[in-house]
């Protein structure tokens, strides 16, 4: 099989995605129905204009997520076997339509890299290639974190022409919430009850000055829920 044919097969849209799109648009009692329809349309427009239509259509889901991120690209197949799913975090819809559009474009670069590029490793998922593509498409993304540093005037104009204004919020009366980092530290205790906090994953070797016991991770704290974003837990309840 030639590489061209392989690429063509990889970029084929699975039928499920057409069904989901129709469903999203038709689900009028779903508060994000209108936004989902707009984001799907923007995806196709950016795909045509920036990726020469090479990307398969992605499945775009919307809803509250960890406050630490604007959205994400789900690598591989998700829990219902769908691939190329992009999630947009509705908790950040207090940002401008234009900014949310840039988030979609950011996730589209991940789709592109997974199909045609060189995906960065775990600690450098946003690699140099990612930043270079972002630069070509009109925004500056930081290597490493992937954080958007700057958006060019022409990309703003382009998004505005596609109906995503830099002056209108994605959801008009929603407060803009800052990106917050999750709690990265975990607690260690000694038998006399003193506590210290250390970076997650760090194997602490320290002795308590009071009881001379070694600091240990208490059993009840070894679950990963210390990193749970409480606001999401409440929203999900
Ligand atoms: Zn990213
Ligand atoms: Zn102690």
CATH number at residue 69: 3.30.2010.10
Question: What does the pLDDT look like over 143-162, one tens digit per residue?
Answer: 988 999 999 999 999 999 99
pLDDT reported for residue 105: 98
Ligand 2 mean position, distance from CA 201 (Å): 22
Q: How far is the CA of 172 from the centre of ligand 1 (A)?
A: 26
Instruction: Round the CA-based radius of gyration of the chain to a whole number and report it.
Output: 21
Ligand located closest to 189 CA:
2
**Paired strand residues for 195:** 189
Tell me what pLDDT residue 157 has.
98
Does some domain include residue 173? no
pLDDT at residue 19, as a whole number: 96
Report the pLDDT value the prediction gives residue 111, as an integer from 0 to 100: 95
Same domain, 110 and 54: yes
Which ligand is nearest the CA of 103, by number? 1
Cα of 192 to ligand 1 centre, how many Å? 44
Domain co-membership, 102 together with 208: no
Distance 19 CA to ligand 1 centre (A): 26
Residues 153 and 195 in one domain: no
Pair (87, 129) in one structural domain: yes
Spatial CB neighbours of 46, under 8 Å, sequence gap ≥ 6? 104, 105, 108, 162
Alpha-carbon distance 198 to 196, whole Å? 7
Q: What is the pLDDT along the chain (237 residues), one digit of tens a residue?
A: 566 666 556 678 999 999 999 999 999 999 999 999 999 999 999 999 999 999 999 999 999 998 889 999 998 999 999 999 999 999 999 999 999 999 999 999 999 999 999 998 877 889 999 999 999 999 999 998 899 999 999 999 999 999 999 999 999 999 988 887 766 677 889 999 888 888 877 888 899 999 999 998 876 555 444 444 444 444 443
Q: 98 and 56, same structural domain?
A: yes
Domain range enclosing 23 = 3-161
Tokens of residue 189, six digits: 């205790």
User: φ, ψ for residue 60 (rounded to 5)?
Assistant: -105, 115
- 147 C-alpha vs ligand 1 centroid, how far in Å? 8
If asked whether residues 154 and 226 sit together in one domain, one would say: no
Beta strands 71-77 and 195-199: pairing type? unpaired
Question: How many whole angstroms separate alpha carbon 226 and alpha carbon 218?
Answer: 13
From the CA of 207, the nearest ligand is 2
Ligand 2 centre from 106 Cα, in Å?
48
Same domain, 154 and 192: no
How many Å apart are CA 97 and CA 113, to the nearest integer? 25
Residue 75 domain flag: yes
Residue-level pLDDT at 226: 41
Total domains in the fold of the chain: 2
pTM: 0.77
Q: Find the 196 Cα to ligand 2 centroid distance in Å.
A: 10
Q: What integer pLDDT is reported at residue 182 of this predicted model? A: 63
Judgement on whether residues 125 and 213 belong to the same structural domain of the protein: no
Ligand nearest to the CA of 145: 1
Q: Which ligand lies nearest the alpha carbon of 102?
A: 1
């Amino acid at each position: 099989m030639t590489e061209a044919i392989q690429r063509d097969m990889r970029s084929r849209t699975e039928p499920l995605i057409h069904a989901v799109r129709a469903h999203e648009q038709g689900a009028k009692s779903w508060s994000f129905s209108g936004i989902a329809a707009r984001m799907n349309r923007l995806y196709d427009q950016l795909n045509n204009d920036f990726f020469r239509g090479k990307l398969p259509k992605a499945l775009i889901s919307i809803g509250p997520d960890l406050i630490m991120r604007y959205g994400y690209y789900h690598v591989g197949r998700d829990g219902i076997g769908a691939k190329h799913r992009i999630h947009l975090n509705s908790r950040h819809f207090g940002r401008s339509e234009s900014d949310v559009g840039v988030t979609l474009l950011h996730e589209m670069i991940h789709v592109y890299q997974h199909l045609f590029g060189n995906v960065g490793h775990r600690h450098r998922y946003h690699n140099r290639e990612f930043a270079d593509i972002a630069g070509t498409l009109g925004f500056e993304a930081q290597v490493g974190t992937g954080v958007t540093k700057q958006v060019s005037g022409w990309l703003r104009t382009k998004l505005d022409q596609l109906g995503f204004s830099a002056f209108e919020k994605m959801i008009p009366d929603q407060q803009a919430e800052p990106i917050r980092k999750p709690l990265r530290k975990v607690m260690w205790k000694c038998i006399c009850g003193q506590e210290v906090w250390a970076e997650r994953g760090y194997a602490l070797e320290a002795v308590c000055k009071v009881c001379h016991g070694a600091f240990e991770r208490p059993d009840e704290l070894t679950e990963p829920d210390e990193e749970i974003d409480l606001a999401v837990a409440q929203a999900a309840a």
